[in-house]
Amino acid sequence: MSLRYRLWLSFAPLVLLLTALGGGFIYSLGVVGNRIEAILRENYRSVDAMTGLNEAAERIDSSFQYALAGRPGARAQYDENWVAFRNHYEIERNNITEPGEQEMVDRLTVLAERYRALGDRFFGPARAPADRTADYFLPDGHPGPLLVTFRQIKQVTGDIRRLNQDSMEAASHHAREAAGVARWWTSLGLLAALGATALLAWRTGRVILRPVEDLTRSARAVGDGRFDQMVTAHTQDEIGELVSAFNRMTAQLRDLRQSHAARLLRAQQASQAAIDAFPDAVLVVDRDGRVEMANPAARRVLGVVPDGDRTGPAWQPPDKLRGPLRDALQSQQAFLTQSFDQAVTYRTGDEERTYIPQVLPVRDPYGGTLGAAVVLNDVTRFRLLDEFKSDLVATAGHELKTPLAGLRLAVHLLLEETVGPLTNKQTELLIDARDNTERLVRIVDHLLALARLEHGRDQLAVRPEDAGQLLRDAADRVQSVLTGRRVVIDVPPDPLPAVAADSQRLGQVLDNLLVNAATYTDPGGQITLSARAAPNGRLELDVRDSGVGIPPQYLPHVFDKFFRIPGQTRGQGTGLGLAIVREIVTAHGGDVACESEPGKGTVFRLSLPVWAGTKTEPPTGGTS
């Protein structure tokens, strides 16, 4: 017997019980609804008619009183309300439903005819005022025939209304009793349905859930890598077929695992041999940060050991690698840098070596993240060469400073003609020599300043500074250079957090950027200085111009030492200004970036830390 047929047979009694329960409930609702409809159709019409008739009689009585008082319109009110009286009377006469109601209506008919006759006589044209008064009040002060008849009509209408109201209450009581009976039977049926449901659930559990639970336990075991699971089939239905298919699947997986084990081992050995061949330190981490593979250089430098069973703690990288490793694992963002600012230093024995890290995400064929590869390129020799170059530049700058000062003084003395008059040609040559001497002095000063920044000898006095005031002061200092350009300072009205900065050094940065913007912006152009709070808890300062812009292929090199854009004829700078800008901003613990498009201007953006304490030392120790 198939599982579907067995399920139909199991649930058939429940379906029949629910059908009977629903039919009985619908029948009970119909009975209660019919009784309520009868109440509304029969008795309520009589109650409403008597209420309207009583109101019409009261207005007719009021017309008699208005006539006795001499108020106009009494006759019109009398005629109008007799129409309403007659309409309500006809409704009641045609809706007699209760025992004794007919006798009351007959009594009402007699009283209505008498009341009409007395009223017509009251409003007759030949009726004297005294006679009208006697119709309503007798001379001895007792009620007249009109008032007596009116009171009798009110009494009869009240009796008819109460008779129908009592009938409505009795019908409502019967309806409540019927609803109570229906509720009792419905509750009993629900209890029976619940009992049948529980019984069917128990039977279904025995028939279906027990094999399914066995399959679930075995499937979890297969998911854990235990392919030796076998489930016993107790039936020949669909569940039995599923059990047989599961057993065949586990057998195939077991065979496949055994056939691929050797291939996987060879692939792992080949991968390990490949990274072992690298002279640089290489390690691979999984999505949780645990080391899966590491070559001997990585084990020697970092002291890591691959976690074969993936149960150990995650690898704790150095501070400079935590952010790039997190980005590679979470957003598949590679970290490729050649900057010494991102270098990390490790000591191996008695030797200290410098490495530039690279972090690459490892993806599966579907684009998912498997882990990340970390490569440490040994740049110790290049770092030593860079330090030697910086020392050489600093030494050469110091050695050149004294002869340059003497040469500068001599040129100035000659131009002042203190040692004798000059010819026009001599003056022209000396002016050219003076300009070149001044340029050499600026180059030497910049080289010495850059050397001090690179070696951390130029300490920063960091204090809380107002960003808007720094921008305004910079614009004032270089006002002569900005002549003909429109300068806009854009600072939000809300107070900005104080920036942690050395005002003198950061002012030098802003001066360099403003002079650079003025150099490459034609007169009539615009230079915008802006400050804003960044969402990462830092403060951003922008220097934006509408100048000639920078070709995209040169953007990565604008902060390099001695770099000048090929073919650019504007300015006579040393090529060190932007390099000094980067060193000063880095010493503040900040970042500087450049965005530009040819013909659309350039933006230099400084990202600086906000003030968060009372230290006067730079946030990064003043070195790059």
Contact call for residues 461 and 614 (beta carbons, < 8 A): no
Locate the DSSP E strands across 379-519.
463-465, 486-490, 499-501
**Helical H segments across 94-138, by residue range:** 101-122, 129-136
Distance, in Å, from the CA atom of 145 to the CA atom of 141, rounded to the nearest integer, reads 12
Q: Which two tokens stand for residue 512?
A: 């360099």
Vertex 220: Cα angle to 216 and 226 (nearest 5):
125
Contact call for residues 286 and 292 (beta carbons, < 8 A): yes
What is the DSSP pairing of strand 526-533 with strand 486-490? parallel
Given the structure tokens 């047989």, which residue do they identify?
A: 244
Q: What pLDDT does residue 6 have?
A: 63
Residue 46: which residues within 8 A CB-CB, separation 6 or more?
91, 92, 95, 96, 97, 101, 160, 161, 164
Residue 586: which residues within 8 A CB-CB, separation 6 or more?
341, 592, 620, 624
Residue 292 CB neighbour total at 10 angstroms: 19
Given the structure tokens 């952010």, which residue do they identify?
A: 323
Helix axes 101-122, 145-204, angle to 10 degrees: 140
**For 43, which DSSP code?**
I
Q: Which DSSP string do the residues of 477-495 spell out, in sequence order?
A: HTTTTTTTSEEEEE--SSP
Q: What pLDDT does residue 351 have?
A: 73
Distance, in Å, from the CA atom of 586 to the CA atom of 607, rounded to the nearest integer, reads 10
Distance, in Å, from the CA atom of 528 to the CA atom of 489, rounded to the nearest integer, reads 6
Q: What pLDDT does residue 613 have?
A: 62
Q: Which two tokens stand for residue 107?
A: 């009594």
Burial class (CB in 10 A: 0-12, 13-18, 19+), 539: buried
Closest by CA to 289, choosing from 318, 268, 310, is 310
Distance, in Å, from the CA atom of 578 to the CA atom of 327, rounded to the nearest integer, reads 29
Q: Which two tokens stand for residue 526?
A: 């615009």
- Binned average pLDDT, 10 residues per bin, the chain of 624 residues: 62 72 70 63 84 92 88 90 92 88 91 91 85 83 87 92 87 79 81 79 68 76 74 69 77 73 67 75 82 81 69 72 84 76 72 81 84 81 64 65 76 78 83 77 66 61 90 86 81 85 89 87 89 86 91 88 74 73 87 91 93 52 32
> Which residues sit opposite 500 in a β-bridge?
464
Contact call for residues 583 and 597 (beta carbons, < 8 A): no
**For 496, which DSSP code?**
P
Q: What pLDDT does residue 38 have?
A: 63
Contact call for residues 546 and 526 (beta carbons, < 8 A): yes
In one letter, which amino acid is 366? Y
Q: What pLDDT does residue 265 have?
A: 64
Q: What pLDDT does residue 102 have?
A: 92
Q: Which two tokens stand for residue 542?
A: 């922008």
Upper half-sphere CA count for residue 616 (Cβ side, 13 Å)? 2
The verdict on pTM exceeding 0.95 is: no
In one letter, which amino acid is 123? F
Residue 100: which residues within 8 A CB-CB, separation 6 or more?
163
Closest by CA to 378, choosing from 351, 342, 350, 343, is 343
